């Protein structure tokens, strides 16, 4: 498609507005990082409950991701995005005040908190699937890779915003969400800002982007592919006319109609095929499931969900741990910009391979450092001097390798690797795989930390980075520059 045959500005506006769902995805899943010590002290959470608190939103996201594709095919992409913004808002309010249905100071507060987190998780899961699919469906092919990475760019901006917000709120409160005992590294009390506790404000900040997202979605069009599937060709043509040259709109609608087979409703049975008399899942769907799972098995969300706990466990102060987490999120943003610049130039597969190799190396270094660290009188691991700097540098290079590869490219591929007939159902399975894998990794980290330490945990993530190298080489096919109708 020639450069003059599409509108960059309008396509960019639509992608940015939709990608706020990605911002909320990143914010919601990372904001808990700064609150874990306060939740332990205020709500009486133990290690297992903290692991559940940090990961339960992910389990809710698995459900949201699983049903989002089907709901989007039935009711439209915009309605699902608006619903997710409402779920984010409800979760933010309830997570910061888990006393609506339980008595303050009771053990049930933690249960109520978890319920609010699950609600937000459903919104996260829906956004994680619908936003990249919507952008892929609305974007011209030459721009699709770069616009699809807006989802991941928005996610990392959301992560950064959550961590930075937590840090500034901690500074306002005088040093974090809790007052720490320097010897035992445990909380003595929570801090306050005005009439409310600092950790409550950390959750409530999310209300602002949640409301903004819901409002902006009202001003973006429905997916033309959804409209063609609903036989609303005139509306689809009007939308495509704002994105593409009028001379190619009619042909584009015909291409969509042929690929959709719109007289047959999308269903999960479409993902099955018969080979030699046996029914099996279509191979490309298995590849999507594998990409989604490996993106999480390399352990990236341990950095963003447990960054403060991780760095505090090796001797960092609460605010220094927050600073390190913020630094990692800045690195994450910068590296995602690299992905946006390269994904349509060198392709999806080379980026994945480079990221896998880099993660394998940096995770190996961290596993060695944390695995050989000494411990203090309270059993806490200790690293200092050059070793501590090496750990921080390795952790941030690990983020670099993930952020320019598996972070954004996973979502780009999931949004474009399936043909239109099976996309909704295949995305549901891919999203389910991604979030269940996320839950397994994030939920197991506190237990791994207690049983095999940081060295053992990072050794496991390093192993999966090694596996991902061969998975990319043998299973992933390049999609750069291809129309969705040609998948």
Give the tens place of pLDDT for each residue, 366-375: 999 888 877 6
Which of the pair, 321 or 238, is modelled with greater confidence? 238
118, 55 Cβ separation under 8 angstroms: no
Question: pLDDT for 316-367, tens place per residue?
Answer: 777 777 888 888 888 888 888 888 788 888 888 999 999 999 999 999 999 9
Query: What phi, psi does 187 have (nearest 5°)?
Result: -75, 140
| Backbone φ/ψ region at 231: left (φ over 0), alpha (ψ -120 to 50), beta | left
Question: pLDDT for 98-145, tens place per residue?
Answer: 999 998 888 889 999 999 999 998 998 888 778 888 888 887 777 777
124, 64 Cβ separation under 8 angstroms: yes
Domain 3-220+266-486: assigned CATH number: 1.20.1250.20
Q: How far apart are CA 269 and CA 467, in angstroms?
A: 30
DSSP 266-311: --GGGGEEEETTEEEE-HHHHHHHHHHHHHHHT-HHHHHHSHHHHH
Please, which contacts does 234-239 make with residues 24 or more away whose CB atoms are closer than 8 Å?
239/138
Query: Where are the extended beta strands (E) located within 276-431?
Result: 278-281, 374-375, 381-382
Confidence of residue 238 (pLDDT cuts 50, 70, 90): confident
3-state secondary structure of 374: strand
Q: How far apart are CA 269 and CA 252, in angstroms?
A: 27
> Encoding tokens for residue 455?
């060295």
Give the distance, in angstroms, between the CA of residue 319 and the centroid of all CA atoms in the same chain. 25
Kindly list the domain boundaries of the chain, sorted by start residue.
3-220+266-486
Question: pLDDT for 12-58, tens place per residue?
Answer: 888 888 889 889 988 988 898 888 888 888 888 777 787 788 788 87
Q: How far apart are CA 315 and CA 18, in angstroms?
A: 40
Average pLDDT over residues 252-280: 70
Question: pLDDT for 450-470, tens place per residue?
Answer: 788 888 999 999 999 999 999
pTM above 0.85, yes or no: no
């Amino acid at each position: 498609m020639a450069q003059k045959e599409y509108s960059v500005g309008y396509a960019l506006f639509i992608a940015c507005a939709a990608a706020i769902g990605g911002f909320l995805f990143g914010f919601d899943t990372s904001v808990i990082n700064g609150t874990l010590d306060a939740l332990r002290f205020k709500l009486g959470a133990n290690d297992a409950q903290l692991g559940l608190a940090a990961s339960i939103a992910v389990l809710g996201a698995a459900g949201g991701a699983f049903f989002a594709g089907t709901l989007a095919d039935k009711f439209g992409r915009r309605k699902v995005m608006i619903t997710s913004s409402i779920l984010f808002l409800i979760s933010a309010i309830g997570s910061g005040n888990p006393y609506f249905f339980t008595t303050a100071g009771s053990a049930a507060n933690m249960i109520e908190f978890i319920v609010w987190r699950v609600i937000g998780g459903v919104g996260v899961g829906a956004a994680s699937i619908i936003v990249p699919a919507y952008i892929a469906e609305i974007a011209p092919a030459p721009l699709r890779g770069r616009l699809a990475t807006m989802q991941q760019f928005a996610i990392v901006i959301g992560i950064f915003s959550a961590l930075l917000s937590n840090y500034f709120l901690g500074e306002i409160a005088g040093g974090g969400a809790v007052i720490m005992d320097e010897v035992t590294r445990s909380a003595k009390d929570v801090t306050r800002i005005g009439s409310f506790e600092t950790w409550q404000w950390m959750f409530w900040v999310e209300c602002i982007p949640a409301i903004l997202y819901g409002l902006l979605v009202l001003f973006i069009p429905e997916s033309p592919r959804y409209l063609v599937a609903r036989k609303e060709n005139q509306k689809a043509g009007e939308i495509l006319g704002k994105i593409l040259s009028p001379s190619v709109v009619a042909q584009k609608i015909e291409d969509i109609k042929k690929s959709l087979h719109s007289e047959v409703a999308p269903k999960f049975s479409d993902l099955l095929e018969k080979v030699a008399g046996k029914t099996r899942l279509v191979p490309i769907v298995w590849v999507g499931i594998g990409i989604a799972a490996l993106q999480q098995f390399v352990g990236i969300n341990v950095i963003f969900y447990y960054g403060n706990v991780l760095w505090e466990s090796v001797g960092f102060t609460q605010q220094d741990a927050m600073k390190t987490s913020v630094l990692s999120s800045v690195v994450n943003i910068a590296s995602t910009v690299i992905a946006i610049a390269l994904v349509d130039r060198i392709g999806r597969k080379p980026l994945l391979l480079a990221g896998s190799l880099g993660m394998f190396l940096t995770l190996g270094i961290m596993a060695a450092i944390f695995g050989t660290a000494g411990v203090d009188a309270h059993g806490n691991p200790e690293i200092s001097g050059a070793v501590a700097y090496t750990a921080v540098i390795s952790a941030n290079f690990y983020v670099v390798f993930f952020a320019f590869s598996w972070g954004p490219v996973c979502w780009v591929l999931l949004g474009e690797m399936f043909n239109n007939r099976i996309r909704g159902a295949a995305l549901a399975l891919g999203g389910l795989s991604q979030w269940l894998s996320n839950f397994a990794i994030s939920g197991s980290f506190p237990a791994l930390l207690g049983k095999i330490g940081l060295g053992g945990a990072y050794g496991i993530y390093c192993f999966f980075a090694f596996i991902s190298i061969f998975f990319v080489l043998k299973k992933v096919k390049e999609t750069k520059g291809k129309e969705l109708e040609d998948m």
